[in-house]
Structure 1
Amino acid sequence: MAFRPVTHVLFDMDGLILNTEDLYTVAFQNIVSQFGKDYTFDLKLKLMGLQTQETTEMIISALDLPMTPEQFIEESKKQFDALFPDAKVMPGAKRLIEHFHNNNVPIGLATSSSKESYDLKVNKHHKELFSLFPYKTFGSSDPDVKNGKPHPDIFLVSANRFPDKPKPDQCLVFEDAVNGVLAAKAAGMQVVMVPDPRVPEHLRADATLVIDTLLDFKPELFGLPPFKS
């Protein structure tokens, strides 16, 4: 497949830079276990990349939980407070972000997380790494992001935060979630997918490129500065 050269790069966060998708699974299972329910991977697949309110409503509906969205969010916050501060960086993420930063490739963060959730995940161990992103968009708390993934809003808003306002086809997105891939594609951007191994093949088809980890990415494929050997 031929890839188009790009000038700007946008990163998702959960499950791509940090292992927080695993932590969301633990948190939600802890909540639904109280009602004898299972937070399955099939359900998770539908939710990855969505904003907080949408995620909450879908879990309650899918599992028929006797909770209001407000109660679920309150329970979730208790779980997140315990789990998120010790989130780990995913393989290859630090190397790639630092590579782009050191080679003056404009990079931005485009996460469906709220600012509050981001702070929980980043402030204890990862402030230095995330300080390399001069532009950050938090989908669940940014009024400019009207619709969550798979809608294109977050990537279009994020691209517009760069001072030189690149066109969508000048931007490359890194994503782990199916909804995120669809959002990037809807925005008119190329997207590199680093999926959970359990994501079925047919749900990877919309990605421009699929790799196992960020360690496998070759920047020169998209006209970006290569790693020095």
Structure 2
Amino acid sequence: MDGLLLDTESLNERVNGEIVERYGKSFTSDIKIAIAGTTAVNSAQTIIKTLEIPLTIEEYLGERNKLLYPLYPTAKTFPGAVELVQHLAQYNIPQAIASSSSRKNFEMKTVNHQDWLKYFELFTLGDDPEIKQGKPAPDIFLLTAQRLNAQPENCLVFEDSLSGMEAAIAAGMTVVVIPDPVFDKKMFTAADMVLNSMTEFDPQMITS
């Protein structure tokens, strides 16, 4: 979802940048790459350790959430995302969201997007008790496939992060990566397809 369907990553980047600047640090593209697709706790841990921020994970997340939560409902969809979701729904292809977001965060981010989220069969989220390990482990994708009554080899995953791609591959699924422009596309050579935008994906490949 994040960085693929909804542009929440720019909100995260803005808030993380504001927090670390208080300590004379910069939120660099390397850190952005390192935390992409991970849980909030893992992201905070990476930022604190890498930049030597004098906060605990709980303190960092507290500061982050105060700034971020009011912004979440403003998240916009990426070009082509809603059109693809609607197209697949017309062909009765089951769809699910498998996101590292917690349910609370997911609900805030999607509050203004219920008109197209209705096309998804289910949502598997990062704080689901049945997920033992987050991405790049395959747990979240395998659990989602199980709940869809689908075989992993019949699943197509859309991802924007390296950890997400690795999780999909480990699950034995086909994966299309649409990375943030800050990423070097060479990082995603293991993907089945790498695109610049969702608008480049031809749904006829799976609905014809």
Residues 87, 121 of structure 1: 8 Å contact kept: yes
Supply the distance in 1 between the matched residues of 2:204 and 2:85 (Cα, whole angstroms).
Answer: 15
Structure ranking higher on relative contact order (CA contacts 8 Å, 6+ apart): 1
- Contiguous gaps of at least 5 residues in structure 1: 1-12
CA distance in 1, matches of 2:182, 2:64: 24
Q: Are 2:88 and 2:203, in contact at CA under 8 Å, matched by a contact in 1? A: no
Structure 2 residue 86 is matched with structure 1 residue 98: yes
Shift of 1:202: 2.0
C-alpha deviations, 1:163-204, integer Å up to 9, x for none?
A: xx2111100000111111111001110100111122113211
Aligned to 1:206: 190
What SS does the aligned partner of 2:22 have?
A: helix
Counterpart residue number, 1:9? none
- 1:118 and 1:201 mapped to 2: Cα distance? 28
- 142, 157, 160: which is aligned to 2:146? 160
Q: Residues 8-44 of structure 1, C-alpha deviation per residue, up to 9 Å, x if partnerless?
A: xxxxx00000000111101111111110111111111
> What secondary structure is seen at the aligned counterpart in 1 of 2:199?
helix
Structure 1 residues 79-109: Cα deviation after superposition (integer angstroms, max 9, x where no partner): 2122111000001000000111111000000
User: Is the 8 Å Cα contact of residues 49 and 148 (structure 1) preserved in structure 2?
Assistant: no
2:143 partner letter: V
Residue 217 of structure 1 aligns with an amino acid whose one-letter code is F
What residue in structure 2 maps to residue 220 of structure 1?
A: 204
1:129 aligned onto 2:116: yes
Q: Distance in 2 between matches of 1:201 and 1:74?
A: 34
Give SS of 1:109's match.
strand
Deviations 1:101-156 (A, max 9, x none): 11100000000000111111111x211111211210111x1111111111111101
**Hey, which bits of structure 1, 4+ residues long, moved more than 3 A?**
none
Pairwise CA distance, 1:225: 1.3
Q: Which runs of 5+ in 2 are unaligned?
A: none
> 2:182 corresponds to which letter in structure 1?
R
In structure 2, what is the equivalent of residue 109 of structure 1? Answer: 97
User: Which residue is 2:175 aligned to?
Assistant: 191
Pick aligned residue for 1:61 from 40, 49, 66: 49
TM-score for both structures, normalised by structure 1: 0.88
Number of corresponding residues: 208
| Alpha-carbon distance in 2 for matches of 1:174, 1:181 | 8
Q: Residue type of the partner of 2:169? A: K
Normalising by structure 2, what TM-score?
0.97
Percent sequence identity over matched residues? 38
CA RMSD of the aligned region, Å?
A: 1.0
SS in structure 1 of the partner of residue 31 of structure 2? helix
Match among 159, 163, 175 for residue 179 of structure 1: 163
